Amino acid sequence: MPKINENYLNLKESYLFTEINHRVAEYTKNHPDKKVIRLGIGDVTRPLGSDIIKALHEGVDAMASAETFKGYGPEQGYAFLRDAVAKYYAGHGVSIDPGDIFISDGAKSDTGNITDIFGDDNVILIPDPVYPVYVDSNVMCGRKITYISGTAENGFLPLPDKNIHADLIYICSPNNPTGAVYNHEQLKAWVDYALENEAVILFDAAYEAFISDPELPRSIFAIEGAKKCAIEFCSLSKTAGFTGTRCGYTIVPKELVFKASDGRQVSLNALWNRRQTTKFNGTSYIIQKGASAVFTEEGMAQCMENIQYYKENARIICDVFAKKGIRYFGGEHSPYIWFECPNGMDSWEFFDYLLNNAQVVGTPGSGFGENGQGFFRLTGFGTRENTIEAMERIEKLL
């Protein structure tokens, strides 16, 4: 009889967004006449930019002739896309070696899979509240997790505590779910802490394209010393609308070298490469071809048009909360608006209240950690029409 990985028994019964889908399906089954508006999961609604579509078609056409047909590609991604990502970073003043970039099918997979190259006896530091994949993927390995509190008082931007030692630190900025963004000085505090503790920061930059203030860092590598202590994950899901198309990348600098227990110096870039070449066969050529158009001038302009659309939705949401005197965070450099549930309701109580009385679906803050209790998240990724209608319903209700 196989022995199962019993760490899975320590997980919550279902993944946050699966539980939400389950409750919404139940509600729609019982109320088929009601129009439910979903502002829960951060899934995009705008179509891909026309240059991306054109490049995807070119990718398909390449498969139609023997001269241009592609079979297995490099597990790390095609050079044309790795170079394009490096150029994108250079455009923001951050120098990245294309050899440090690994193309993948998205940040969710990579933030989960990165656990493979680290031992299970590491102390993992995770901010609370945060994207649930970091916690769940470490629980699956039976790892010890230490939490650091994000609260309304610290603007949901916890800073390192010198009295706590950690080996691996997860940071998401702009943060999912709170929309809070670390500034340069705050991220430097994390880099200094990681260097002092010989720790590695696992930096999730999935929402970097929503940052409009040039003073705010879009990458951990904008901070001096970060290449010696950080891995960065990014995704085209939110930057370019690839939630269904699937493409992302992970940057593992070659400067990340740590001593193994037998004294050998080990490169994390080499370990991740070993992991990927064994367990991953690369993102499809067609998708990478489409992704390369994201990083052209015209392609990025089309992506930014969609991002502006989502940010305008976020503004519409924020305006209602401001008008109603409800305390909220985010929405400015982020598609997420994080607010306090009214009348002291807890997060799931408010979820049910909103679904039953306004037919609007959001995400309960407690699904992102204990500190999220009493908070709720809405997303600007809906259509304009639905966002306006949802907020009219919410305004009437609250």
Binding site for ligand MLT (CB under 6 A): 41-43, 108, 131, 176, 237
- Between CA 379 and CA 365, with CA 325 as vertex, the angle to 5 degrees is 40
User: In the complex with ligand MLT, which residue's Cβ is closer, 197 or 363?
Assistant: 363
User: In the complex with ligand MLT, which residue's Cβ is closer, 237 or 366?
Assistant: 237
Q: Which positions ≥6 away from 184 have C-beta within 8 Å? A: 215, 216, 217, 222, 223
Query: Helix, strand, coil shares of the chain as percentages rounded to 5?
Result: 45, 15, 40
- Cβ(41)–Cβ(377) under 8 Å? no
Q: How far is the CB of 155 from ligand MLT (least distance, A)?
A: 20
Q: How far is the CB of 131 from ligand MLT (least distance, A)?
A: 6
Q: How far is the CB of 291 from ligand MLT (least distance, A)?
A: 17
Calpha distance 223→225 (Å, rounded): 6
User: In the complex with ligand MLT, which residue's Cβ is closer, 49 or 179?
Assistant: 179
Q: How far is the CB of 92 from ligand MLT (least distance, A)?
A: 22
DSSP 257: E
Calpha distance 320→331 (Å, rounded): 12
Distances from the Cα of 84 to the Cα of 92, 207, 269, 373, 388, angstroms: 13, 18, 19, 41, 37
Q: How far is the CB of 175 from ligand MLT (least distance, A)?
A: 11
**Residue at shortest CB range from ligand MLT:** 42
Q: Is 217 in a helix, a strand, or coil?
A: coil
**Beta bridge pairs of residue 258:** 266
User: In the complex with ligand MLT, which residue's Cβ is closer, 110 or 167?
Assistant: 110
User: In the complex with ligand MLT, which residue's Cβ is closer, 19 or 83?
Assistant: 19
Q: How far is the CB of 41 from ligand MLT (least distance, A)?
A: 4
User: In the complex with ligand MLT, which residue's Cβ is closer, 131 or 134?
Assistant: 131
